[in-house]
A and B are shown apart, each in its own frame.
Chain A
Amino acid sequence: MNTGGGIMPQAKDNKPLFILSGIMIIYALIASSGILHPLMKFLHTAKTADLQVMMGFIVGGIGIAGALVNTVRKPGNTVFDRFVLQPLPGIILILLMAMAIRWYVEPVVKLISHSLQPVLGFKIYKVLNLNYVILGLLAGVLLTNTYGIPKFAAAGVKCARFVLKMGVIMLGARYSFAELAKLGSYSIVLVGGFVLGTVFFVLWLGNLFKQPKTMTGVLSAGMGVCGVSATVAVAPVVKAKSEEMAYTIGTILSFGIICMFVFPTIGHMAGMNPVQFGAWAGTGILNSAQVAAAALAFNAVDIKTLKVAEIFNITRVLFLPIIVLVLATWFGKQSGKKLTFKEVVIDKFPIFILGFLLLFAMSSLGLFSPPTHYKGKFIDFSYNERSQITEKEWETLDKALQNNTFQGLSADQLAAVKDLVAQRQLAGNFESRADKKAFQQQGEKRMDALKSITAAAKAKAITLPKDVTHAIKHAVKQVHKKSKTVSTLTDCMIWFFAFGLIGLGMQITKKAIFQAGGWPLVIGVISGVTKATLSFFVVLWLVKDVVLK
């Protein structure tokens, strides 16, 4: 830290931030020049080129600005210092890692897996779920257990936990009332049963192996509810010893890490659907971050699995005060001196769940997209340049009509094609545009007719040139719109999760894992495996219907 030696020593302190931000800006400059386009095309990341450039400039710009502020002013302990300037180098390091993994490491791993498939007979990345989530976690684990977290990044890494919570809060915008009601009822039954079942199973195992009640009490909460928080909350209630706490936390961590990597592979092998896997991960895994990691490892392309898993996770977190009350009653303890039941219920209430519900309410009230639209997706037949087909596609269709290429079409199908050529887009009649209902119905009728043409071509009931079916498909695709607000919020959420999980990986140290041991490890493994196995079969048996689209 600078002690008044002028600007130069402070600039030296900020060297890592200058370097990281510089890398971001240089990368954005190179990417914007188009030099990397062939490489991006090869890696199938060309569609994200604009985002890569934008993120490079914005993150690099913020980093340089932060480094300059840190250089010209003496570092202090203000809110701005603690929340922005101090964590900035770590945040940029994690973002740089996330970008490199998402746009370079993951595609390279996929390409290598493809090329090794003839030799091995399977794709490594599919079997080991080597998507950007798992690769990010592994990169974090590797960094922290080899070189260690760089000193300049320590404050930024600590942000990972609340950034992960930001991801959960933003996820609230992606549920409908029906989904929340259905998943909520499933989760209360499943999580409630398994949480209480695990608590009493651990207490019974402790009795069976003649272990002290203090140890089994603290372990039962850790294995039943949510890891570290539950252990700390229950320790004074059951008068646990410090060593028992350390063993318990080590056991929960080690077990959770194994689950995080093993659950997605088992889920794929068992052919679970996203709802089933989300329910299983949310019930069987103990730590909130590990649940998110497993869900995204199972399916990182869309967020169906994550949506289900997080509802189960939130339900599990809400069970903590109930477990404290149950254990307190079990151990015959009325109330602590400082930690009363009121404190457990009120102080431990997870406020981020209120944020989740707030985003859900905002979304349901139509702030992000009209309430009639399903998760921001809607069909728009209105006259709009962005809904038109391309000039080349229009020429193809026009020529096909003139050459009588459309043989075997019904009158409605032919009329829909003729209208598409006349209007250059899928829409209702121009004359009836004032009557919205009639306009919408005409558009829907034409869309159905066009879809039936492509379906007939696919089934080889009619023969059409490929470019003609492409043009028709594109016309249909053009009227399927997605709310920009919902898409951007979802992108932000995915980046928050990616950031949080790399940070989570950086916290998985050998020391933390190897503190597990003794009877807590034995009882923890027995109860954890039992819970995971039983919940696997119960989920497969109970959760069958897919409620998400």
Chain B
Amino acid sequence: MSDEKITIETGDAGKGTSTIDKNANTEELEERALSVFSSERNEDITALVLSLITTFIVLVFTKWM
């Protein structure tokens, strides 16, 4: 396998730039996909938790207090 690398600019906040072998095999592509899935899952969980915290704070100040 060649050591030549290719840089992919995703243009997406959070994903940024990633480097991958120019001749990456299927297994490497699978690993990359799984790593993107995992980072997206973490992002979703963070967004969900922070949204619930925001909702709770809004309820405390506008309804329950």
Contacts and interface: CB of A to CB of B under 8 A. Distances in A.
Contacts of A163: 47
A246 B6 contact: yes
A492 B58 contact: yes
Interface in A406-431: none
Interface in B2-23: 6-16, 20-23
A362 B52 CA distance: 11
Given A242-B21, A492-B58, A352 B32 contact: no
Contact of B9 (A232, A492, A515): A515
B47 A162 contact: yes
B40 A229 contact: yes
B23 A241 contact: yes
B59 A485 contact: yes
A489 B62 CA distance: 10
A347 B43 contact: no
B51 A359 contact: yes
Nearest to B64: A485
Interface core residue of B34, B37, B51, B52 (most chain A CB under 10 Å): B51
Interface stretch (A38-46, A332-340, A461-469, A530-538): A332-340
A488 B33 contact: no
Interface stretch (A378-386, A442-450, A499-507): A499-507
Contact of B33 (A157, A339, A367, A504): A339
A161 B13 contact: yes
A243 B6 contact: yes
Contacts of B58: 485, 488-489, 492
A243 to B, nearest CB: 6
Contacts of B38: 347
Contact of A253 (B11, B27, B31): B11
Contacts of B11: 228, 249, 253, 507-509, 512-513
A488 B57 CA distance: 10
A159 B8 CA distance: 20
A11 to B, nearest CB: 29
Helix, strand, loop or mixed for chain A's interface? helix
Interface string A167-179: 0011001000000
Nearest to B48: A355
A245 B52 CA distance: 36
A337 to B, nearest CB: 6
Chain B interface residue bracket vs A: 35 or more
A225 interface: no
A260 interface: no
A254 to B, nearest CB: 9
Interface core residue of A83, A173, A232, A241 (most chain B CB under 10 Å): A232
Nearest to A505: B13
A228 B8 CA distance: 11
Nearest to A349: B41
Given A339-B34, A367-B59, A347 B41 contact: yes
Contacts of A245: 8, 20
A228 B10 contact: yes
A85 B48 CA distance: 20
Contacts of A289: 12
A377 to B, nearest CB: 15
A338 B30 contact: yes
Contacts of B22: 241-243
A293 B55 CA distance: 23
A162 B29 contact: no
Contacts of B33: 232-233, 235-236, 339
Contacts of A343: 34, 37
Contacts of A515: 8-9
Contacts of A338: 27, 30-31, 34
Interface core residue of A83, A228, A358 (most chain B CB under 10 Å): A228
Contact of A165 (B26, B29, B37, B43): B43
Contacts of B54: 166, 170, 489, 492
Contacts of B8: 242, 245-246, 249, 515
A170 B50 contact: no
Nearest to B36: A232
Contacts of A236: 26-27, 29-30, 33
A400 interface: no
Nearest to B50: A166
B43 to A, nearest CB: 5
Given A246-B6, A513-B11, A515-B8, A348 B51 contact: no
A457 to B, nearest CB: 36
Contact of B50 (A162, A249, A337): A162
Contacts of A158: 13-14, 16
Contacts of B24: 241-242
A509 B31 CA distance: 26
A477 interface: no
A70 B21 CA distance: 38
B48 A354 contact: yes
A351 interface: yes
A355 B47 contact: yes
Given A350-B40, A512-B9, 5 more contacts: A166-B54, A233-B36, A235-B33, A504-B13, A509-B9
Interface of B: 6-16, 20-24, 26-27, 29-34, 36-38, 40-41, 43-48, 50-52, 54-55, 58-59, 61-63
The 5 A-B residue pairs with the shortest CB-CB distance in the complex, in nearest-first order: A512-B11, A512-B9, A351-B44, A161-B14, A165-B47
